């Protein structure tokens, strides 16, 4: 053997030995990092995700997450305050520990069912839209007054027409809008989809910065929406191309959870926050966020006005842990505002304050001037409500008021004139429904208790009215809220629009499997919808039902918590029906299924039903 050959052989053996040692070392480092990640999770996260903070997703749901989502939550999302103390490598290790996958192993791509674009037919007038925004029309009544194609006689023949699974999603909280032959919908991954309404195939996609909740709003040829980092967007509805993107609020924890709404010139953006989550920490200086509504010029993306729901927070007192508190704060606007063109007003509903002192603008309806944003009147339905995540864990940052956490999470509904009188209908987590007179600065006309109330409702996300009755979904999920009143009534209830008197009450049975790992309850937290003679509602147990509007009888039901074959080739599974309600348009029902917060049942489906599946 020549010297050169000996050298080559020796080099190869040494190289192989080094590679082997490196692999052993790498595996050892990975094992050490995962062990460390488990300790980090147990120390910083487990208390909340194992039941200490009801809103936090359960570990079983986190296991379904793609690792990128956990990393993003630790870097810039709801867990960013906990993530501040972690290195990037530690964040990646925590994500791998929870999901069993590295970022490299995670498959973010999915089979996409695309179709050859034949052009998108946009409506010539806004009245031609089948369902726009949160409530179908600007009054947010969630009533389909066009011919829905559905009747009490044919709903028994409803079948699944198609289902679309959002890739690597565990919750579906972006309600679709329907424009003639198109469906526009956001997603947990921040992807906006333009889908063919008949087939579900993808015409175009747009990737926003982060998760998109609520419904989009179509104004002429422009799609408008917000994301979970407080960005508002305008897209070309034909192509999906970005027209503008605007940051709406200076606070780093500001989010847009509600649906935007627009007139011909401005889009109105509700602003809420996730600050109640880090406020649970004893060392967190609570709180700096204040709710807002922001008006933006549709053409330019420039802010026209911003109206805040509290004054600027200032130092107030130190807690028993020595942490400085700031107030007033909070009064977020969780849901979409309601347009009243006739009175030149915008109605925004608010949640509780985050810190002491409580203000007169929390748990209230604010009537804002469309031109200036000036608050013209306020109707507060619960006084002295200041609450944050510390109250659930009995830690020092809980405000002196300590609740009751009775947000108005549902959009206000402006009824059409009945006997010459319009009413503004409000539903609250307290279990109360109110009718206000918009011509008398929000004077209460009637009020009615429909449930015992609680942290998860009462009335959580939305009601519907057909201008004769008010259809109210009640959650009444047990949460040990000491302010609750009376027995729970989870189910659907009908009130006379003019008097508030009960027409009927349908309490739903508990049909949850005994061995289910997630929270399962028959209450209706998601918004309900209605059309002629019918009411549509999904519940926390994943059941979707259609009720008789006159009697409250269940005419048809479908269990969504099952695996479903999807048109885009992604594994589809349903779960809890939460937040966004069913959309009724052109003889079809568009329904979202799956929710991973509050320990609920994860899922990733947009389901479309029609008579005989046609």
433-486 pLDDT, tens digit per residue, is 999 999 999 999 999 999 999 888 899 999 999 999 999 999 998 887 888 898
77 has pLDDT over 70: no
What's the CA gap between 86 and 402, in Å, rounded? 31
Domain boundaries, the chain: 19-99, 126-611
6 has pLDDT over 50: no
What average pLDDT does the segment 558-572 reach?
A: 95
35 has pLDDT over 70: yes
Per-residue confidence (pLDDT) for residue 49, from 0 to 100: 76
Q: Report which of 530, 411, 428 is spatially closest to residue 475, judged by C-alpha positions.
A: 428
What would the pLDDT profile of 402-411 be if each residue is shown by its tens digit? 999 999 999 9
What would the pLDDT profile of 237-248 be if each residue is shown by its tens digit? 999 999 999 999
For the chain, the residue count is 614
Name beta bridge partners: 534. Answer: 531, 548
Cβ atoms within 10 Å, residue 607: 25
Q: What is the DSSP letter of 172?
A: -
Instruction: Outline where 379-502 has alpha helix (H).
Output: 389-393
**Domain 126-611 has what CATH class?**
mainly beta
Q: What is the DSSP letter of 50?
A: I
What's the CA gap between 540 and 208, in Å, rounded? 28
Q: How far is CA 394 from the centre of its chain?
A: 26
Q: Report which of 309, 405, 397, 287 is spatially closest to residue 352, judged by C-alpha positions.
A: 405
What average pLDDT does the segment 556-574 reach?
A: 95
């Amino acid at each position: 053997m020549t010297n050169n050959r000996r050298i080559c052989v020796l080099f190869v053996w040494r190289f192989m030995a080094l590679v082997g040692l490196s692999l052993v070392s790498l595996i050892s480092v990975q094992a050490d990092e995962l062990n460390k990640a488990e300790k980090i999770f147990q120390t910083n996260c487990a208390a909340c995700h194992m039941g200490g903070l009801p809103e936090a997703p359960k570990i079983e749901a986190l296991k379904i997450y793609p690792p990128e989502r956990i990393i993003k939550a630790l870097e810039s999302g709801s867990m960013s305050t906990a993530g501040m103390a972690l290195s990037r490598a530690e964040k990646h290790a925590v994500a791998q520990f929870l999901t069993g996958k590295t970022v490299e192993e995670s498959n973010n791509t999915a089979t996409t069912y695309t179709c050859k674009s034949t052009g998108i037919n946009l409506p010539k007038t806004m009245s031609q839209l089948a369902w726009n925004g949160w409530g179908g029309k600007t009054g947010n009544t969630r009533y389909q007054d066009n011919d829905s194609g559905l009747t009490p006689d044919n709903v028994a023949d409803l079948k699944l027409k198609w289902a679309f699974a959002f890739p690597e999603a565990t919750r579906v909280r972006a309600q679709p809008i329907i424009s003639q032959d198109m469906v526009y919908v956001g997603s947990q991954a921040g992807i906006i989809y333009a889908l063919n309404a008949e087939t579900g195939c993808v015409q175009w996609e747009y990737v926003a910065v982060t998760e998109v909740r609520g419904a989009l709003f179509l104004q002429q040829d422009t799609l408008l929406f917000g994301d979970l980092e407080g960005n508002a967007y305008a897209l070309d509805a034909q192509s999906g191309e970005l027209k503008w993107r605007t940051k709406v609020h200076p606070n780093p924890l500001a989010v847009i959870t509600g649906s935007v709404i627009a007139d011909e010139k401005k889009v109105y953006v509700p602003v809420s926050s996730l600050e109640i989550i880090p406020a649970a920490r004893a060392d967190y200086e609570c709180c700096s966020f204040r709710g807002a509504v922001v008006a933006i010029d549709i053409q330019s993306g420039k802010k026209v006005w911003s109206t805040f729901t509290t004054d600027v927070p200032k130092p107030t007192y130190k807690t028993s842990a020595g942490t400085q508190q700031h107030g007033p704060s909070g009064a977020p606007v969780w849901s979409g505002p309601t347009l009243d063109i006739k009175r030149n007003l915008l109605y925004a509903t608010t949640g509780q304050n985050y810190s002491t002192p409580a203000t007169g603008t929390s748990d209230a309806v604010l009537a804002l001037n469309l031109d200036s944003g000036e608050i013209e009147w306020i109707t507060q339905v619960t006084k002295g409500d200041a609450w944050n995540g510390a109250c659930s864990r009995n830690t020092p940052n809980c405000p002196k008021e300590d609740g009751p956490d009775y947000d108005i999470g549902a959009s206000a509904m402006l009824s059409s004139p009945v006997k010459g009188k319009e009413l503004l209908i409000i539903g609250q987590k307290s279990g109360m429904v109110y009718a206000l007179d918009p011509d008398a600065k929000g004077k209460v006309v009637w009020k009615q208790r429909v449930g015992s109330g609680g942290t998860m409702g009462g009335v959580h996300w939305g009601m519907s009215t057909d201008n004769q009755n008010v259809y109210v979904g009640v959650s009444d999920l047990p949460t040990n809220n000491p302010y609750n009143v009376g027995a729970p009534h989870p189910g659907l209830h009908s009130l006379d629009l003019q008097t508030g008197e009960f027409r009927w009450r349908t309490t739903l049975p508990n049909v949850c499997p005994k061995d289910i790992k997630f929270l399962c309850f028959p209450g209706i937290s998601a918004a309900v919808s209605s059309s002629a003679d019918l009411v549509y509602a999904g519940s926390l147990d994943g059941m979707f039902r259609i009720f008789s509007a006159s009697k409250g009888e269940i005419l048809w039901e479908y269990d969504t918590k099952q695996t479903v074959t999807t048109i885009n080739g992604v594994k589809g599974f349903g779960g809890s029906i939460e937040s966004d309600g069913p959309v009724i348009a052109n003889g079809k029902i568009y329904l979202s299924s799956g929710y991973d917060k509050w320990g609920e049942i994860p899922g990733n489906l947009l389901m479309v039903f029609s008579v005989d599946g046609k």
